[in-house]
Structure 1
Amino acid sequence: MIYQTKGIVLNRVQYGETSLIVNVYTEKFGRQAYIVKGGRSKKSVSKSNLFRPFFLLEMEVYHREGKNIQSLKEVRITEALNNLIFDVRKSSIALFLTEVVSKVLREEEANPDLFLFLYNSIRYLDLCEDSVQNFHLYFLTKLTRFLGFYPQMNWSPEQAFFDMDNGRFVSAANSHAHCLNKAESRMLISLFNTSIDEINNLIMNAKNRDDILRAILNFYALQSQGFTSLKSLAVIRELFDD
């Protein structure tokens, strides 16, 4: 049966001599894999270019429940994300975040709130004219709400250390190896409490940014089974090392 759905490109891999398997987070079916026949042939360069990280698509798909790889009938770009192609910072952020999202989003079922969060975040990243050096940190903290490990917002001067095992703030007496220090914990709560319009008001230097990114990724690793090392991490670290 043929369905229409919006989709967000996560990644693609080569399949056979000329085809692609594209992983897409869809509005109607959650995460799905689609075969793009001939997607790597010389005659299909334009088709291949549709499947870049975080591209927003309008799709007609053949969908069968329980099938590992679905088929595409028609696909087109919903919105042209020119900055995600030509701005090296934004394209690097998109590559990094799609790698994270690919590791943590596995559900093959619709989640309209999550889809809207992803869709609006991508549009913001593309259209934002201000600095985006804190965007990836904002995105990763907000994404936890949809992954089931959004932390307790119980920070106080008395409970100022973030316990990554249990997703809550604890006192110094209860801190342990998987607790962030006081400065990192304060920075983390600021990120969780910040709106997208205020992320550039957070004052962080390159070391602060790298420390908090490491902390967030460690939190993901502790809370999300199978969250392994990221190939694009070195790129994002080098990008904002200034």
Structure 2
Amino acid sequence: MLHQTKGIVLNRVQYGETSLIVHVYTEKFGRQSYMVKGSRSKKSKSKSNLFRPFFLLDMEVYHRDGKNIQSLKEVRLAETFNSLIFDVHKSSIALFLTEILSKVLREEEANHELFVFLYNSIRYLDLTDESVEFFHLYFLTKLTRFLGFYPQVNWSAEKPMFDMDNGRFVNELNSHGHCLGKEESEILNILFNTSIDQLNLLKINAQQMRVVLRGLLNFYALQSQGFTSLKSLSVIEELFNGG
């Protein structure tokens, strides 16, 4: 049956001489894979440059429940980006976050609230004129709410250390090898309580950002099965953390 849905490109892999398999998080069907035949040929209607990380699409698709690879009839951009593909910081963030989303988004069913969060976050990333150096940290803290492991945000002077195993802040006596230090735990608490329009008020230096990001990724790895190492991590650290 033919359906119309919006979609967010996660990644793509080459298939054969001229085709692609594109992984998309869709509004109607959750994460899906689509065969795009001849997308790398000169005569293709569905040009491969439509399938870049975080591109927002309007799609006409043939959908059958339980099918591993679905068919795509028509596709076009739902939004025309202003800066996402031209700004090296924004495009690197897109690559980094889609690599993470590719690992953690597995559900082949609709989640409207998650889709809206992703869609609006991508539009913000493209449209903002503010610095985006903390955007990926903000995004990762907020995403946990939709993945089912949003932590207990109970930071206090008595519980100053974030326990990544159990998703809560603990006192020093209960700290262990999977706890962030006090300084980074306080920053993480601030991030969990920050709205997107307050990001540029944050004071986080390069070393703190590196440790907080590594801590967040460790938290993801402990809470999400199959969360493996990230190829794009070094790029983000080089851009935002001073190498």
Which TM bucket (shorter chain)?
Answer: over 0.9
Q: After TM superposition, list the pairs within 5 Å mapping 1:197-212 onto structure 2.
A: 197-212=197-212
**Are 2:87 and 1:87 equivalent residues in the alignment?**
yes
Residues 182 and 97 from structure 1, CA distance in 2 versus in 1: closer, same or farther, beyond 3 angstroms?
same
- Structure 2 unmatched runs, 5+: none
Report how far residue 43 of structure 1 moved: 2.9
Q: After TM superposition, list the pairs within 5 Å mapping 1:45-124 onto structure 2.
A: 47-124=47-124
Match of 2:190 in 1: 190
Aligned length: 242
Match of 2:137 in 1: 137
CA RMSD of aligned residues (A): 1.0
In the alignment, the residues of structure 2 paired with residue 12 and residue 151 of structure 1 have an alpha-carbon distance, to the nearest angstrom, of 32
Match of 2:220 in 1: 220
Structure 2 residue identity aligned to 1:86: F
Match of 1:168 in 2: 168
Q: TM-score by structure 2 length?
A: 0.98
Q: Percent identity?
A: 76
Moved over 2 A (4+): 42-46
In the alignment, the residues of structure 2 paired with residue 126 and residue 63 of structure 1 have an alpha-carbon distance, to the nearest angstrom, of 30
Report how far residue 42 of structure 1 moved: 2.8
Match of 1:4 in 2: 4
In the alignment, the residues of structure 2 paired with residue 93 and residue 171 of structure 1 have an alpha-carbon distance, to the nearest angstrom, of 34
In the alignment, the residues of structure 2 paired with residue 91 and residue 169 of structure 1 have an alpha-carbon distance, to the nearest angstrom, of 33
Q: Output one character per residue of 1:168-213: Cα deviation in whole Å (capped at 9) or x when no partner.
A: 1111010000011111110100000000000111101111111110
Q: Secondary structure at the match of 2:85?
A: helix
Which region of structure 1 is more displaced relative to structure 2, 38-47 or 48-57? Answer: 38-47
- Structure 1 unmatched runs, 5+: none
CA contact (8 A) 2:46 2:74 kept: no
**Are 2:24 and 1:24 equivalent residues in the alignment?**
yes
Match of 1:35 in 2: 35
Match of 2:156 in 1: 156
In the alignment, the residues of structure 2 paired with residue 129 and residue 113 of structure 1 have an alpha-carbon distance, to the nearest angstrom, of 26
Match of 2:127 in 1: 127
Q: Output one character per residue of 1:3-25: Cα deviation in whole Å (capped at 9) or x when no partner.
A: 00000000000011110000000
In the alignment, the residues of structure 2 paired with residue 144 and residue 60 of structure 1 have an alpha-carbon distance, to the nearest angstrom, of 30
CA contact (8 A) 2:46 2:75 kept: no
Report how far residue 44 of structure 1 moved: 3.1
Q: Secondary structure at the match of 2:204?
A: coil
